[in-house]
Amino acid sequence: MAKDLTELPYGKLKKRVIKTRELLDDLEAELEKRELERQHDEVDDLEEHLNVADSSILDLTGIIRNFLTKKD
């Protein structure tokens, strides 16, 4: 392997540039895939939190109704 890029012949340098661009494209595609997966995971987590919150609100509503019913 050449120590200095200036020592590489034009053809080899061109091939390295092409391969580097292909690798960069692959890396960017993988990054986008992982970002999308992360977003899906966050939405799933949010849905779970909202379900728990809904349940808690229903419990609280029941407690308040019981309190108001007993007060009368």
Tell me how many helices (H) and strands (E) the chain has: 1, 0
- pLDDT, tens digit, for every residue of 11-66? 999 999 999 999 999 999 999 999 999 999 999 999 888 888 888 888 888 889 88
7/68 Cα distance (integer angstroms): 87
Looking at residue 59, what is its pLDDT? 87
| pLDDT of amino acid 68 | 87
Model pLDDT, residue 4: 84
Of 27, 2, 25, the residue nearest 12 (C-alpha): 2
Q: What is the pLDDT of residue 71?
A: 67
Q: Looking at residue 68, what DSSP letter applies?
A: H
Can you tell me the distance from the alpha carbon of 1 to that of 9, in angstroms, rounded to the nearest whole number?
A: 12
**So where are the chain's domains?**
7-71
Residue 58, token pair as written in the block: 């229903």
User: pTM for this one?
Assistant: 0.59
| pLDDT value of position 42 | 94
